Amino acid sequence: MTTDTIAALATARGIAALAVIRISGPAAIPILERHFRAAGRRPPFPARSAMLGELVCGEERIDQVVALFFPGPHSYTGEDLVELMTHGGEIVPERVLELLHASGARPARAGEFTQRAYLNGKLDLTQAEAVESLITARSAIEAQAALRVLGGGLREVLAASIDALVEAQALLEASLDIQEDGAPDTLSPIWDPARESMGPRVGRLLARERARLRRLLEGARARRMLRAGYRIVFAGRSNAGKSSLFNAFLGRERAIVSPEPGTTRDFLDEPLDWEDLRIVLTDTAGAQRAKGAIAEASNRRTREALAAASLVVEVVDVAATSTEELAEDLAALNRPAGEVIVALHKWDLGAGRAWQAWLAEREGQARAAGPAGPAAGKPRAPTAVPSSVKASPDVAPLRAAIEARMRVLGSEAQATLIVAERQAERITRAVEALERAEGLLREGAGAELIAFETRGALDALGELLGRRVGHEVLEQIFSRFCVGK
Ligand SMILES: Nc1nc2c(ncn2[C@@H]2O[C@H](COP(=O)(O)OP(=O)(O)OP(=O)(O)O)[C@@H](O)[C@H]2O)c(=O)[nH]1
Ligand SMILES: [Mg+2]
């Protein structure tokens, strides 16, 4: 229970028509009664009704305001809460805050209103994190995901998992009791013939929940990429046309293009807005064969750019490279096929028979996999498209292929229920514990060892919701908030 009262500006500072100031805690009502005057109204003030009046300090008028009173526990914080809509700007909100602080409300710390809401059981920790994610969202996709979690979307999924794991835990512990009564060896395998149905049941529960939690993590990666910026890196051999494509996508001559191999020595990053998404395009230097400090530094910079890539566009000059050489380059790249697109570049120079056949075979495979196949799920081979900056088929097919990838990413990020890194981290921990538990089960380990792991998974999920979390964890979460939320 909190005994002190906090006050803070809930809206941004600066010139604005209005500002919202919140007061939460036991002194909220006494402060309102002392400093708020509304014609025809006397305290006690009605709950949840907008009152137009004046904020006064003795005889001095501070501002004309609209006051709203939410009695606890039916308020955002669960405590008595007053919201004052004052005039905005540099002066008025500051004077109102001075008045409130002089009347017994102390300045709120970052996130303290939401922290109180959590402590009073109005929100679980996933919802509190969703509040922060909603406020700091940089795209409509992120905001939508945050809103679903705020509505309890993540809690529902976790609650289902927790129920199932509690059942598994109970089965494991029951088997321990039996062992203690009957056999002295508490570490005997739980599919002991006497209890033959227990092992498979526990196994099924663990596998199902591990899969469910894993699915939650899939969208987390997409979200992280969109938040940090989706990095599209043009890679490939010297002189393949990477800088030409980079410029074509940017719509200006940013990188130097020349017929000389080794033109680009360092990588170039350029931001690009693509629909609602934040993208960074990177042009890299092709592998430098020459010896020397510059070539070495250049190769290192290319490796750095590749390590940070969300998507690699492998540019291959079809007039100067064989299909075998491309296969070698792709193997050296060593990335999941879903993160690579091959640009069969300089197609205008006339792709030889080998390339035509190679592409036709690829397209045939893609058609056979159907529309829900490679592009949507996890493709087995990178998408390949002809491209050119000189003539038809130009860069349209490459652009379309990249957009298709980004749409998949966008819908993953939109569907995700993970809106904070802490959530991804706890779920990963739970998944790992379940994997260990399943491994132990397969090996025929004792119930006690398996139960230790399922308990670990349950603890991680409980922490996610905010059950039994330490003070430091809360400090870490709420300190990221802005003051007044
Ligand atoms: N015919 C044709 N030539 C192209 C095309 N794209 C690029 N080129 C030419 O290929 C040469 C190399 O292009 P760049 O864009 O500099 O190639 P790069 O991959 O950046 O080369 P490095 O930076 O040296 O690794 C230049 O002479 C370009 O004009 C294309 O689509 N068709
Ligand atoms: Mg270049």
Q: Tens digit of pLDDT for each residue in 461-474?
A: 999 998 877 777 78
Q: Are residues 94 and 170 in the same domain?
A: no
What was the pLDDT predicted at 365?
A: 82
Residues 6+ apart with CB under 8 A from 353: none
* Model confidence at 109: pLDDT above 50: yes
Higher pLDDT, 197 or 404: 404
Question: Which range among 54-63, 94-103, 199-208, 271-280 shows the weakest confidence by mean pLDDT?
Answer: 271-280
- Please state the rounded mean pLDDT for residues 407-424: 87
Q: Sign of torsion, CA 36 40 46 49?
A: negative
Indicate the pLDDT class of residue 43, thresholds 50, 70 and 90.
confident
Q: How far is the CA of 390 from the centre of ligand 2 (A)?
A: 16
What was the pLDDT predicted at 377?
A: 55
Closest-CA residue, ligand 1 atom 32, reads 346
Closest-CA residue, ligand 1 atom 10, reads 241
Indicate the pLDDT class of residue 60, thresholds 50, 70 and 90.
very high
Of 483, 481, 484, the residue nearest 136 (C-alpha):
481
Residues 6+ apart with CB under 8 A from 264: 242, 243, 255, 256, 283, 284, 285, 286
Question: Which of 379, 412, 445 is a domain's end point?
Answer: 412
pTM: 0.75
Helix (H, G, I), strand (E, B) or coil at 41: coil
Closest-CA residue, ligand 1 atom 17, reads 241
Q: Are residues 350 and 433 in the same domain?
A: no
Determine phi and psi for 146, rounding to 5 degrees: -60, -40
* Model confidence at 370: pLDDT above 80: no
Q: Are residues 256 and 373 in the same domain?
A: yes
Q: What is the DSSP string of 164-220?
A: HHHHHHHHHHHHHHHHHHS-S-TTSBTT-GGGTTHHHHHHHHHHHHHHHHHHHHHHH
Q: Which residue has the tokens 């709203």?
A: 68
Q: Is residue 299 part of a domain?
A: yes
For 264, the enclosing helix (H) or strand (E) is none
Q: Is 264 in the pocket of ligand 1 (CB under 6 A)?
A: yes
What was the pLDDT predicted at 193?
A: 46
Distance in angstroms (rounded) separating the CA atoms of residues 443 and 438: 9
Helix (H, G, I), strand (E, B) or coil at 71: coil
- Please state the rounded mean pLDDT for residues 169-178: 79
Helix (H, G, I), strand (E, B) or coil at 232: strand
Q: Are 359 and 402 in contact (CB under 8 A)?
A: no
| Position in ligand 1 atom list of the atom nearest CA 236 | 19
Closest-CA residue, ligand 1 atom 23, reads 264
Q: Is 263 in the pocket of ligand 1 (CB under 6 A)?
A: yes
Q: Are residues 218 and 237 in the same domain?
A: no
Report the CATH number at residue 106: 3.30.1360.120
* Nearby residues for ligand 2 (ion, Cβ within 5 Å): 243, 263-264
Distance in angstroms (rounded) separating the CA atoms of residues 384 and 389: 16
Q: Are residues 318 and 391 in the same domain?
A: yes
What tokens appear for 60 in the block? 């001095």
Q: Are residues 258 and 369 in the same domain?
A: yes
What was the pLDDT predicted at 229?
A: 82
- Please state the rounded mean pLDDT for residues 410-439: 92
Q: How far is the CA of 118 from the centre of ligand 2 (A)?
A: 53
Report percent pLDDT > 90 for the chain: 63
Counting the structural domains of the chain, the total is: 3
Closest-CA residue, ligand 1 atom 31, reads 388
What was the pLDDT predicted at 378?
A: 65
- Please state the rounded mean pLDDT for residues 176-183: 59
Q: Tens digit of pLDDT for each residue in 251-278?
A: 999 999 999 888 888 889 998 877 777 8
* Model confidence at 196: pLDDT above 60: no
Q: Tens digit of pLDDT for each residue in 224-237?
A: 888 888 899 999 99
| Position in ligand 1 atom list of the atom nearest CA 286 | 25
| Position in ligand 1 atom list of the atom nearest CA 345 | 31
Q: How far is the CA of 459 from the centre of ligand 1 (A)?
A: 56
Q: Is 235 in the pocket of ligand 1 (CB under 6 A)?
A: no
Q: Is 144 in the pocket of ligand 1 (CB under 6 A)?
A: no
Q: Are residues 16 and 97 in the same domain?
A: yes
Q: Are 450 and 172 in contact (CB under 8 A)?
A: yes
One-letter amino acid at 10 equals A
- Please state the rounded mean pLDDT for residues 47-54: 95
Q: Are residues 321 and 246 in the same domain?
A: yes
Q: Are residues 426 and 396 in the same domain?
A: no
* Model confidence at 112: pLDDT above 50: yes
Q: What is the DSSP string of 330-395?
A: HHHH---GGGEEEEEE-GGG---HHHHHHHHHHHHHHHHH-TTSTTTS--SS-EEEE--SSSTTTT
Distance in angstroms (rounded) separating the CA atoms of residues 115 and 137: 20
Q: Which domain holds residue 66?
A: 5-120
What was the pLDDT predicted at 293?
A: 86
Q: Are residues 219 and 359 in the same domain?
A: no
| Position in ligand 1 atom list of the atom nearest CA 257 | 16
- Please state the rounded mean pLDDT for residues 405-421: 86
Report the CATH number at residue 248: 3.40.50.300
Give me the long-range contacts of 271-276 (CB less than 8 A, separation at least 24).
271/229, 274/403, 274/406, 276/139, 276/140, 276/141, 276/410
Question: Which range among 89-103, 157-171, 188-202, 243-257 shows the weakest confidence by mean pLDDT?
Answer: 188-202
What was the pLDDT predicted at 35?
A: 95
Distance in angstroms (rounded) separating the CA atoms of residues 77 and 118: 8
Report percent pLDDT > 70 for the chain: 93
Closest-CA residue, ligand 1 atom 14, reads 241
Mean pLDDT of the chain: 88
Q: Are residues 377 and 251 in the same domain?
A: yes
What was the pLDDT predicted at 197?
A: 60
* Model confidence at 191: pLDDT above 80: no
What was the pLDDT predicted at 220?
A: 87
Residues 6+ apart with CB under 8 A from 454: 165, 168, 169, 172, 206, 433, 434, 437
Q: Are residues 329 and 238 in the same domain?
A: yes
Helix (H, G, I), strand (E, B) or coil at 18: strand
Q: Is residue 275 part of a domain?
A: yes
What was the pLDDT predicted at 179?
A: 57
